[in-house]
Amino acid sequence: MARVYLDANATTPLDPRVREEMLPWLGCGNASSPHLEGRVARDAIDRARDSVAALIGAAAKEVVFTSGATEANAIALLGAVRAAGARRAYCTAVEHPSVLRTLLAVPGLDVVECPVDAAGVALLPEALTESVGVVSVMLANNETGSVQPVSDFARLARDAGAVMHTDAVQACGKIEVDVAKLGVDLLACSAHKMHGPKGAGALWVRSGVELAPLYSGGEHERGLRPGTENVAAIVGFGAAARFALAGLGARRTRWENLSVVFLEALRAGLPDTAVHLAPVRIANTFSLTFPDVEGEAVLLGLDLEGFAVATGSACSSGAAEPSHVLRAMGLGRDGAERSVRVSMHADTSASDVTRCVAALVRVVKGLRALSG
């Protein structure tokens, strides 16, 4: 039996159409060179910039290509903190480590972490004090799929005169993302979460927002991300963004239907599993907590059966600490360790889902039999 990949929030399979579009650009010219080879590469980057901008409702000139969202988040947050001379930053307790750890590592910066409810949704404060210079709230959480009230935070940030950043990695290509409707100043996204290549991301910077550059060494990407551009990866990002936008509605409906299939089968087979479902969520993600079995053991059991899933955040798997996201939602250490994440991609089928739940039931029951 072919393996079933259900770890899309860690990374998605490369779309073969994206791969085709990338291939001619692997050995192309330097996009900064004025000769024909360079101009052709520059045009390809510009077309990709248009496609990424269209995905988020932005102007192309405001899109800066990066090596991924980790770098985009760092350029945004450190750049904004330094430009504003900010002494305090506000974020949620469930941010991705590329936001949380980046902020926490800034010497002298007071980082206030907004609590979340049991479903992982950030609890909006009444107001933000004017001492807050930068606010960062992710659009969709990578572990639970919970969609955060970003536009409400953006309003508070505006009232406090703070710069508003959102990590939209898990939302882009899954739900409609529009920078104007969100009211944010900075937005990060990543190609490999939408069937594009790894190593390509983007930071959208609203015109007029000041960022202190992290790097020096060139004027590429408006001086915010100097270095010769990875044209093939950027072209791949552009193609992935185009396909993601064209398929947005169909993909959502597909995931919503598959969610019903997944949850019904899970409730029938393992009724004591807690499913962390936020009221507004990305429909491809299921965060599950079992009362009595370790997530790591379930992951390994499923892997042997041919299914790829994750425990908590895939980005930190291998780390000893249980998920900070689930802990922030009120789960104890044990609960966080007894959790797995199943995340569907654009081509996940109903049979993938039903087979995965059947294997999950077998694995969990097998582990129970072992320990019982």
Q: Which residue is nearest to ligand PMP (CB)?
A: 68
- Are 343 and 262 within 8 A, CB to CB? no
Q: Which of 112, 248, 315, 358 binds ligand PMP (CB under 6 A)?
A: 315
Give the nearest distance from C-beta 14 to ligand PMP in angstroms.
14
Catalytic site positions: 315
Q: Which of 31, 53, 94, 138 binds ligand PMP (CB under 6 A)?
A: 138
Q: Please say which residue, 170 or 230, places its beta carbon nearer to ligand PMP.
A: 170
169 part of the interface to ligand PMP, by CB under 6 A: yes
CA distance 64 to 45: 11
Q: Which of 102, 170, 259, 287 binds ligand PMP (CB under 6 A)?
A: 170
Give the nearest distance from C-beta 299 to ligand PMP in angstroms.
17
Q: Which of 113, 167, 337, 352 binds ligand PMP (CB under 6 A)?
A: 167
Bridge partners for 275 per DSSP: 288
Residue corresponding to tokens 């950027």: 234
Q: Please say which residue, 342 or 363, places its beta carbon nearer to ligand PMP.
A: 342
Q: Please say which residue, 79 or 301, places its beta carbon nearer to ligand PMP.
A: 79
- Are 49 and 38 within 8 A, CB to CB? no
Residues in contact with ligand PMP, shown as a per-residue x/- string from 77 to 116 under the rule CB under 6 A: -------------------x-x------------------
Q: Which of 51, 102, 142, 230 binds ligand PMP (CB under 6 A)?
A: 142
Q: Please say which residue, 190 or 273, places its beta carbon nearer to ligand PMP.
A: 190
CA distance 304 to 187: 38
Q: How many residues bind ligand PMP (CB under 6 A)?
A: 13
Residues in contact with ligand PMP, shown as a per-residue x/- string from 42 to 81 under the rule CB under 6 A: --------------------------xxx-----------
Interacting residues with ligand PMP (CB under 6 A) = 68-70, 96, 98, 138, 142, 167, 169-170, 190, 201, 315
